[in-house]
A = this chain, B = another copy of it.
Amino acid sequence: MSKLRLTISMSLDGYVAGPNQSEENPIGEGGLAVHEWFFPLKEFKEMHGDAGGVVNESSPIVIERRENVGATIMGRNMFGPIRGSWGDESWRGWWGEDPPYHHPVFVLTHHARAPLEMDGGTTFHFVTDGIESALAHAKAAADGQDIWLAGGAETVNQYLAAGLVDEIDVSIAPVILGAGERLFAGLNPNSLKLEQTRAVQAPGVTHIKYKLG
């Protein structure tokens, strides 16, 4: 059975991005600090075609998170800084012509757009009819593999509120952002049942995994 797996980094105060996201600040002001544990890793360098990097306790976590994933779901604010209509459609994502997904990516948006085929197996599909539809499309595309729920907070919180998430794997960074996009906001008390299945201490981060019942 194909699972919907939330994999995300957040600050200790629960933010996955800082305030005022823009083309200059894709993760909002100060938001990059939430991902700082990731950048020195060999796996991160490889993803971007670079050599070098370190191997530490985060490495097996990062590898595990990419295993058996056949499709990704994200919100349109994670895909780009453009709000409202797509304009001339020149925006093709943050990741260049060969994005690090290598599988179909379903972008939730209110604005229709034709699929965008990139190099390396990544195609961005724009879904305008809601989170259930995006999940159905992603499951069909993943062909039995799991779906990565990538962000941002608003999209993730919608999936959590709907009870559609099977697994949460959250990396808690030693950072207080103070403002921005807050994960787990607006959920109903007792609407989710979590079982902690793993916690790993790594340099500058703690990775905790939960199964949702």
Question: Chain A 172-201, CB within 8 Å of chain B: the 1/0 string?
Answer: 101111110001111111111011101111
Most chain B CB within 10 A, of A19, A172, A185, A206, is at A206
> Which of A10-18, A66-74, A92-100 has 4 or more CB atoms under 8 Å from chain B?
A10-18
Note all chain B residues with C-beta closer than 8 A to A18. 189
B208 A172 Cβ-Cβ under 8 A: yes
Note all chain B residues with C-beta closer than 8 A to A30. 189-190
Q: A205: CB under 8 A from chain B?
A: yes
Other 10 A-B pairs with CB < 8 A, given A19-B189, A30-B189, A198-B201:
A160-B176, A172-B172, A174-B210, A176-B189, A178-B189, A178-B191, A196-B205, A196-B206, A200-B201, A206-B206
Q: A80: CB under 8 A from chain B?
A: no
- Quick one: closest B residue to A195, CB to CB? B174
Note all chain B residues with C-beta closer than 8 A to A154. none
| Chain A residues within CB distance 8 Å of chain B | 12-14, 18-19, 29-30, 160, 168, 170, 172, 174-179, 183-192, 194-196, 198-201, 204-206, 208, 210
- Quick one: closest B residue to A18, CB to CB? B189
Note all chain B residues with C-beta closer than 8 A to A183. 13
The 6 closest A-B pairs by CB, nearest first: A199-B201, A13-B184, A178-B189, A199-B206, A174-B194, A174-B196
The 26 sampled A-B contact pairs (Cβ below 8 Å) are A12-B168, A12-B170, A12-B208, A12-B210, A13-B184, A13-B187, A19-B189, A30-B189, A160-B176, A174-B194, A175-B194, A176-B184, A176-B189, A176-B191, A178-B186, A178-B187, A178-B190, A178-B191, A196-B201, A196-B205, A199-B199, A199-B200, A199-B201, A200-B201, A201-B201, A206-B208
